[in-house]
Amino acid sequence: MYGTKKLTGHIHYVGVNDRTSYKFEQLWSLNHGVSYNSYLILDEKVALIDTVEIGFADVFLEKIESLLDGRSIDYLVVNHMEPDHSSSIAIIKNRYPEMKIIGNSKTISMIEGFYGITGNEIEVKEGDTLDLGYHKLSFVFAPMVHWPEVMMTYDETEHVLFSADAFGCFGTLDGGIIDEDMNCDKYWPEMYRYYAAIVGKYGSPVQKILQKLSQHEFSMICSLHGPVWKKYISEAVTIYDKLSRYDGEEGVVIAYGSMYGNTEEMAEAIAYSLVNNGIKKVIMHNMSKSDPSQVLSDVFRYKGLIIGSPTYSNELFPEVKSLIDKIQTRDLKNRIYGYFGSFTWAGAAVKHLAVVGEKLKWDIVEPSVEMKQGINEDIIAKCYELGEAMAEKLKHS
């Protein structure tokens, strides 16, 4: 059936594409859609690795049954309980009532809590194995990548890793499933965006699982979102390693709010100064327009961050404040930080922005710039000075 793909002699892709949802988790834009990946192993015993979002359960079942050819499913391995991967469990269980559900203790508890399913579960621990005949599966726990129950399943026979959400990205699979069969250009920025929006807070757990996985070799990495990695395994792992170490590239994100254009003029002057001082990658985001997940992606990608805001009801501009909340939630580390702001009669934005850098223990660039009312030559000079100082720190970081 179209939409399935034999990955190895016994392992098949049976995932689905979502081109209708506007947002992932009702938060993050899906300009290129998203895939929900699932895998079927047809051995002496049949194992299904994860399910898909329930809205696609009919297509999912059709794909599975086209491959089963009358056989049943012996095991459902649940690596991750987030509903975009688990919400079809009850439907699958109803169709194959003798099927045993494989999961760790946290997984089994969540299955009961979400779907009221109990009985016929097999609890596994780190390093336990499941023999399917030719394939022998082992289980690698990956707590907080990015939920506490997350585990990965490693096929010791053919060295295939079923990695849960790790190494995943936004973007539908448009005809191809394996990376070597398609143009992967669209997936790399979507991997940065997915990591920043979904996994970003959990750099330390990601580093821990990377250390565990370094003991294994891989012929494929089968994530729950995006392509099956085969040709570009090293690239996918390198991106996750880099992002989880908060290792930014040389470049500056200027994220600002501006109601009437005055604060934006300051941002323009700072950007001009950065480029004149040798910084080629300058990314500007007007927070009233830019997609928050794209801003987060850029903030994770680049080492320098400059935030600007007008004073709004004695606070930060709301969209700037929202960005800062998202950054603080992700506990982003190792950034070089500058800030600027404006006011008309009572200044507060710059004071609030100063606290942000202190709380996150970032390397703070001086001077900050505060403008009362409209821009003038003195303010422009200070903006140039901020840009020059940021460029200097970046070059020596």
- Beta-bridge mates of residue 92: none
**Is residue 125 assigned to a domain?**
yes
In a domain, 397, yes or no: no
Q: Please tell me the total count of domains within the chain.
A: 2
Question: Are residues 147 and 26 located together in one domain of the fold?
Answer: yes
User: Is the domain of 35 the same as that of 52?
Assistant: yes
| Contacts of 77 by beta carbon, 8 Å cutoff, 6+ apart | 47, 48, 49, 50, 102, 103, 130, 137, 153, 162
Classify 193 in phi/psi space as left (phi over 0), alpha (psi -120 to 50) or beta: alpha
Instruction: Using the predicted structure, report yes or no on whether residue 2 has a pLDDT greater than 80.
Output: no
Contact (Cβ atoms closer than 8 angstroms) between residue 279 and residue 388: no
**pLDDT tens, 290-333?**
999 999 999 999 999 999 999 999 999 999 999 999 999 999 99
CATH number at residue 325: 3.40.50.360
**How high is the pLDDT of residue 3?**
81
Which of residues 214, 244, 274 is at a domain's end?
244
- Same domain flag for 358 and 340: yes
Average model confidence (pLDDT) for the chain?
96
For residues 43 and 31, the answer to whether their CB atoms sit within 8 Å is no
Q: Of 228, 244, 260, which residue is a domain's last?
A: 244
Find how far residue 26's CA is from the centre of its chain: 15
| Predicted local distance difference test score (pLDDT) of residue 346 | 86
- Verify that 120 and 177 share a domain, yes or no: yes
Residue-wise pLDDT for 97-122, tens only, equals 999 999 999 999 999 999 999 988 99
Residue 174 lies in a domain: yes
Same domain, yes or no: 153 and 278: no
Please tell me what DSSP assigns to residue 382: H
Non-local CB neighbours of 33 within 8 Å, separated by 6+ positions: 17, 18, 19, 21, 170, 171, 172
Evaluate if residue 1 carries a pLDDT over 90.
no
CB neighbourhood size of 126 (10 A):
12
Phi and psi torsions of 46, nearest 5°: -100, 130
pLDDT at 132: 98
Residues 357 and 265 occupy one common structural domain: yes
Is 264 in the same domain as 237?
no
Task: Please compute the mean of the pLDDT values over residues 24-29 and round it to a whole number.
Answer: 95
> Same structural domain for residues 19 and 139?
yes
Domain-located, residue 98: yes
In this prediction, residue 50 carries a pLDDT of 98
**Which residue among 221, 244, 267 closes a domain?**
244
Pair (278, 205) in one structural domain: no
Residues 119 and 18 occupy one common structural domain: yes
9 lies in a domain? yes
pLDDT of res. 255: 98
What average pLDDT does this structure show over 257-273? 96
Q: What is the pLDDT of residue 182?
A: 96
Q: What is the mean pLDDT of residues 142-162?
A: 97
Domain around 258: 249-391
> At residue 251, what is the residue type?
G
Residue 243's CB: how many other CB atoms inside 10 A?
21
